[in-house]
């Protein structure tokens, strides 16, 4: 029987909006806490939809977390732990390569690094930090939602403005929930123009 390595590792949980990324991160961190492993959970300061000091899923699950803006802040608070989790990684302000290098550094120091985030922006383009981490991670779990239009597996996040697809020139980052995003499949997704 094979098992995960006992040293450092990177785990990526990705997918579209409403695919359960944060719920899965919370599930893994609850296991870590049951195992009494020293850990710290980080949540982007930018994401205050449900709480400023917790990771919180759309269905209401939550765990206390440390607000952060950058991977540097995570690195500065990771000396006394075995497991670090970062939710909504795409909201960190760093350059993608800096985020990847920071996660690699943590794993190389022997930490289990669990990150969750969108794999694509609302234009269906890859978020660079997540896509680069997927290439170097020991474990990648790509989750899907259910398309609000047809019920198929959804892999896209459709951003809406006044009920219509957001234009291609809208900002890449817009924090929101059901009022701003829908999960859509490839066929029902309407490309930004």
Which CATH number does the domain housing residue 121 bear? 3.40.50.300
95: annotated active-site residue: no
pLDDT tens, position by position, 30-83? 999 999 999 999 999 877 666 778 787 777 777 999 999 999 999 999 999 999
Domain that holds residue 125: 9-144
Q: Is residue 76 part of a domain?
A: yes
Q: How far is C-alpha 117 from the geometric centre of its chain's CA atoms?
A: 2
Q: Is residue 133 part of a domain?
A: yes
Query: What are the respective helix, strand and coil percentages of the chain, to the nearest 5?
Result: 25, 30, 50
Q: How many domains does the structure of the chain reveal?
A: 1
Q: Is residue 163 part of a domain?
A: no
Q: Is the pLDDT of residue 140 over 60?
A: yes
The residue ranking higher by pLDDT, 104 or 174, is 104
Residue of 165, 161, 168, 184 whose CA lies nearest to 123: 168
Predicted TM-score of the model (pTM): 0.91
Counted residue by residue, the chain has a size of: 193
Q: Is residue 2 part of a domain?
A: no
Q: Is residue 52 part of a domain?
A: yes
Residue of 113, 129, 114 whose CA lies nearest to 173: 129
pLDDT tens, position by position, 163-192? 898 888 887 776 665 568 899 999 999 997
Q: Is residue 180 part of a domain?
A: no
88, 125, 179, 190: the catalytic one is 88
What is the spatial distance between Cα 163 and Cα 24, in angstroms, rounded to a whole number?
A: 29
Listed in order, strand segments (DSSP E) in the chain are 9-15, 39-44, 54-56, 62-64, 66-68, 83-86, 112-118, 139-143, 145-146, 153-154, 156-161, 164-165, 181-184
Q: Is residue 156 part of a domain?
A: no
Q: Is residue 184 part of a domain?
A: no
């Amino acid at each position: 029987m094979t098992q995960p390595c006992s040293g450092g590792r990177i785990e990526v949980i990705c997918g579209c909006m409403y695919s359960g990324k944060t719920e899965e991160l919370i599930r893994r961190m609850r296991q870590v806490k049951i195992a009494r492993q020293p850990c710290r959970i980080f949540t982007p300061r930018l994401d205050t939809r449900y709480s400023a000091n917790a990771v919180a899923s759309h269905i209401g699950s939550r765990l206390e977390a440390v607000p952060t803006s950058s991977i540097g802040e995570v690195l500065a608070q990771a000396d006394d732990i075995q497991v670090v989790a970062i939710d909504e990684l795409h909201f960190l302000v760093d350059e993608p390569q800096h985020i990847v290098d920071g996660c690699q550094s943590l794993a190389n120091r022997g930490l289990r690094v669990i990150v969750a985030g969108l794999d694509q922006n609302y234009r269906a383009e890859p978020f660079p930090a997540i896509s680069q981490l997927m290439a170097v991670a020991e474990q990648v779990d790509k989750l899907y939602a259910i398309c609000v239009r047809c019920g198929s597996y959804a892999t896209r996040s459709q951003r809406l403005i006044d009920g219509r697809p957001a234009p291609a020139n809208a900002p890449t980052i817009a924090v929101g929930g059901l009022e701003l995003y829908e999960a859509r499949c490839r066929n029902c997704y309407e490309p930004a123009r």
